[in-house]
Structure 1
Amino acid sequence: MLDTERLDGLDTLNSDTPEQELPALDIPKHERRVQTVIQDLPVETLCAKISRGALILQPEFQRNFVWNSTKASRLIESLLLNIPIPVVYVAEAPGGKQEVVDGQQRLTSISAFVAGSFPEGVNLKREFKLSGLQVLDELNGKRFVDLDVATQNLILEATLRVIVIKAESHPDVKFEVFERLNLGAEKLNDQELRNCVYRGRYNTLLARLSEYKPFLEIQGLSAPHNRMADRQLILRFFALHRLTHLHYRGNMKQVMNRELDEHRDPSDTSLKQFEELFTRSIDMAWAVFGKKAFRRFQPGTGAGANGTWEERLNFALWDTLLYTFSFYQKSDIIPHADRIYEEFLDLMTHDPTFVEYVVSTGDKAERVKYRADVWRQRMDAVVGAPRTDGRLFTRKLKESLFEQDPTCAICGQRIQSVDDAEVDHIVHYWRGGKTIPENARLTHRHCNRARGGRED
């Protein structure tokens, strides 16, 4: 990935420097214009839409509302003074709802004052009383309900211009709109923008996986990153895994946007599969490299010189190593962890092209493909091709073993029901034990779970 997006303490995720050299977005010509509708809506209408969930401000107020009470109060004063309020941009979302693209702080302040309190989780006193007013200073200390009816109506009848970005607009064009509107004081990074534009269950999964302890350990963090850099890493992994390096054509930013947009609300089954895929792949990276995972190794130059490891996590190695691990099982990797580690050191020492494609900026397709192919060849030489046998035995085998002898192989007691039984690997799966009848034994579910040493 770009140097500006390499993680130096996971704090430099923005990608807007001149050296970026991103390829052009792959958007059909007839879809390159944003489809919009202009509306002038009274505050009362906007507050009603927010209250019933038709206009979504932000999924996590405590992380995104950053104004203080004085700034919010002065916005209310501006409404009363008939001072024009900047245009609000919203985007049409599935289900007939609208999502705020630009104007979340303003709309949150206005709706909170009318409702009487700030949203839960905001680092302010819940009760919203006007403060810091300089023109209408006689209103300081007042709530909305304390105002006379005429003043309340001035607020409720004040209109805000709202530009609605229609659903038929191309998703990458909508992302560009959001990004260009976000040129103010506190610029959101790409993942924070995605969090606003592509809300859904996929986003929730990224947030949950960012708390996975081995992932935190690899990053050197004790808690998820406050600018969502870790969520972008997870999204990169899922996007590349789904697309595969063979079909990647460049522009990882656009690939991630499409991944999140097209799959924003996966099924429960898909969510479970995604979570297992990520945690299993991270576990393998941790088992092989520990805290050196996804870091560049620089061999020493000259006689007696020692090699060094970079401290910051490298996007190119993240893509290459985790992507390749995802095609294996722990039973393939763990017995060969030391050899895989040494293979990586050898690759970083003796393949100048691989090193160049790790160090240089950009996500050009030929570089992604070269790194993936070369590392996969190294992995296959050590481990062999990924095993295709699954970890779970069939129910038919369990019923057959139960009919032959319903005795638990661990505690020696009778298993009362076939549903209370599990088929266990005699030689652990993660140690290379095969999922075949000869390596199967019948146990109580509880006994098997308590056995320990399992893959998970």
Structure 2
Amino acid sequence: MNPADSDDALINFADDADDEIEVQASVDRYRDAVLYGTDWTVRTLLEQIEQGNIDLSPTFQRRDAWSRKNKSRFIESVALQLPIPQIVLAERKEQRGTYIVLDGKQRLLTLAQFAGELADDHPLWEDSAKAGPLRLSGLTVLTGLNGKTYKDIVSFPALGQVRTQFDNHTIRSALIRNWPDEDYLYEVFIRLNTGSARLSPQELRQAMKPGQFTEFLGVRSANSSVLQKILGLNAPDFRMRDVDLLLRLIAFLTRLPAYKGNLKPFLDETHDHYNARWSSEQNAVDNLVSRIEDGLEFLVRCFGDAREVGRRWAADQFDGPINRAVLDVQLASALDVEVRKAVQAGKLDLKATFIEMSLHNSEFTEAIAGTTKSIASIRTRYKCWKKALEDKIGAEIHMPSLPNG
């Protein structure tokens, strides 16, 4: 399935579905934030993008979600001056007048690809130049625009009215200023998407935490074929849950003793840690991700199907959604030399051992179900899995150091 064809390209993660984001409930947190609405014309929004005031980074553009048909229909709706859902922007604290996009990235990117006039040094230019201008197709109302780009419309005097309607159509924009902290924006982010596919906090993390490690995560996850296979994708996930998963795997393999029981700040801190230390940590992280990819390939070979890796066993089959708690322990063991030797020698069937554990070890199954992020759950599932493998191969294996508690 191609993310460009569906919002449901990646089935949501099965673990920690309701408790990954925890924010303070105090009303005081909401009093100082200023939220107001404004109507910006399409041309004004495009000027903001062209000037870099609304950030649509190349990393995001590579995760373009809409098909050309969907983009064309959106452009047609704008040209017909049909109502367009509002976009939501949060003003950056460090630079007034510049914005983080909380909702509406695909709409803004489509406008830029169709009618943006990007300077040669604009961050979007390289990828936009490669793709070429958006050429409309599949239109059912303004059929005379099929096959045309925005420049074609500009060059045809007979289409002047269509261009005017497009440029001057207003899109409602909600602007947030003076927000108290990142958790406030996370809360807004989640509430905006209540009832729709759950978004990963990584989408907002990528916007709010720029840096070389941030760029590395976006590029490396997008280029990881095995990560895409395990997630059931054939292209990068436009909601960046593949980035989220890669960040988590790095964090659990390198910084697990520092885990305090709340997943979001742990991943935030890991993100900040590597952004701040990238010059000294780059080689180590790059090598670690290569090992992670190799470990995932090893798991695919052991299980025989990428869509069975990182899934719970229930009702005589593997679940569809990925369970990150399962993948954490499976990957950790896949990096151990003794485990690999035992599999190669035919002494260990990793898939059969996991199914056996799922059927007969209630302590383990409880630790990979429901709320899996507690320190107790983490310690339990790592210890149970480690013991099961050691009993099978008769040798000690090495797993990450565990958090205290």
Same fold (TM over 0.5): yes
Structure 1: gaps spanning 5 or more residues? 1-8, 300-307, 388-456
Which residue in 2 is equivalent to 1:315?
324
Q: What is the deviation of 1:129?
A: 9.7
- Secondary structure (helix, strand or coil) at the match of 2:88 reads strand
Which residue in 2 is equivalent to 1:64?
65
Which residue in 2 is equivalent to 1:27?
24
1:84 and 1:224 mapped to 2: Cα distance?
31
Q: What is the deviation of 1:336?
A: 4.6
The match for 2:134 among 123, 126, 129 is 126
Which residue in 2 is equivalent to 1:91?
90
Which residues in structure 2 correspond to 1:30-429 (within 5 Å)? 30-31=28-29, 35-36=33-34, 38=36, 39=38, 41-57=40-56, 59-60=60-61, 63-66=64-67, 67-78=70-81, 86-93=85-92, 96=95, 97-112=98-113, 114-115=115-116, 120=128, 126-127=134-135, 143-146=153-156, 160-166=171-177, 168-182=179-193, 187=197, 189-190=199-200, 193-194=203-204, 197-198=207-208, 200=210, 201=212, 202=214, 204-209=216-221, 211-212=223-224, 215=227, 219=230, 223-224=234-235, 226=237, 229-244=241-256, 247-250=259-262, 252=263, 255-256=266-267, 259-260=270-271, 267-284=278-295, 286-287=297-298, 290-292=301-303, 293-294=309-310, 310=318, 314-323=323-332, 330=337, 333-337=339-343, 344=353, 351-358=361-368, 360-365=369-374, 366-376=376-386, 382-383=395-396
Change (3 A) 1:91 1:243: farther
Contact 2:90 2:175 (C-alpha < 8 Å) held by counterparts: yes
Query: Per-residue displacement from partner, 1:87-140 (whole Å, max 9, x unpaired)?
Result: 331133487342322233443455455448998499997346996557xx9999
Contact 1:32 1:170 (C-alpha < 8 Å) held by counterparts: no
Contact 1:87 1:163 (C-alpha < 8 Å) held by counterparts: yes
Q: Which one-letter code corresponds to 2:19 in the other structure?
A: L
Query: Per-residue displacement from partner, 1:26-80 (whole Å, max 9, x unpaired)?
Result: 43845456834545545444322211322124621672345342431231332xx
- Secondary structure (helix, strand or coil) at the match of 1:383 reads coil
- Secondary structure (helix, strand or coil) at the match of 2:22 reads coil
- Secondary structure (helix, strand or coil) at the match of 1:165 reads strand
Contact 1:15 1:189 (C-alpha < 8 Å) held by counterparts: no
Q: What is the deviation of 1:223?
A: 3.7
Greater relative contact order structure (CA < 8 Å, 6+ sep): 2
| Identity in percent | 17
1:362 and 1:310 mapped to 2: Cα distance?
19
Contact 1:206 1:235 (C-alpha < 8 Å) held by counterparts: no
Q: Which one-letter code corresponds to 2:33 in the other structure?
A: Q
Q: Using structure 1 for the length normalisation, give the TM-score.
A: 0.58
Query: Per-residue displacement from partner, 1:191-221 (whole Å, max 9, x unpaired)?
Result: 674477457442542442454455566x396
2:373 and 2:116 mapped to 1: Cα distance?
50
Q: What is the deviation of 1:229?
A: 4.9
Q: Which one-letter code corresponds to 1:55 in the other structure?
A: I
- Secondary structure (helix, strand or coil) at the match of 1:249 reads coil
Q: Which one-letter code corresponds to 2:76 in the other structure?
A: S
Change (3 A) 1:112 1:192: same
1:362 and 1:284 mapped to 2: Cα distance?
26
Q: CA RMSD in A?
A: 5.1
Change (3 A) 1:290 1:31: farther
Query: Per-residue displacement from partner, 1:374-395 (whole Å, max 9, x unpaired)?
Result: 44456677236679xxxxxxxx
Q: What is the deviation of 1:13?
A: 0.9
Contact 2:71 2:110 (C-alpha < 8 Å) held by counterparts: no
Change (3 A) 1:281 1:133: closer
Query: Per-residue displacement from partner, 1:289-318 (whole Å, max 9, x unpaired)?
Result: 83325455689xxxxxxxx77375543221
Q: What is the deviation of 1:14?
A: 6.2
Q: Which one-letter code corresponds to 2:88 in the other structure?
A: Y
2:116 and 2:110 mapped to 1: Cα distance?
10
| Matched residues, number | 357
1:146 and 1:320 mapped to 2: Cα distance?
61
Q: What is the deviation of 1:145?
A: 4.9
Larger deviation, residues 89-98 vs 172-181: 89-98
Change (3 A) 1:56 1:146: farther
Structure 2: gaps spanning 5 or more residues? 1-7, 119-124, 304-308, 401-405
- Secondary structure (helix, strand or coil) at the match of 2:76 reads helix
Change (3 A) 1:42 1:298: closer
Q: Which one-letter code corresponds to 2:188 in the other structure?
A: V
Contact 2:179 2:185 (C-alpha < 8 Å) held by counterparts: no
Q: Which one-letter code corresponds to 1:35 in the other structure?
A: A
2:372 and 2:314 mapped to 1: Cα distance?
21
2:237 and 2:20 mapped to 1: Cα distance?
29
- Secondary structure (helix, strand or coil) at the match of 1:382 reads coil
1:129 and 1:350 mapped to 2: Cα distance?
56
Change (3 A) 1:122 1:253: farther
Contact 1:216 1:223 (C-alpha < 8 Å) held by counterparts: yes
Q: What is the deviation of 1:246?
A: 6.5
Change (3 A) 1:187 1:22: closer
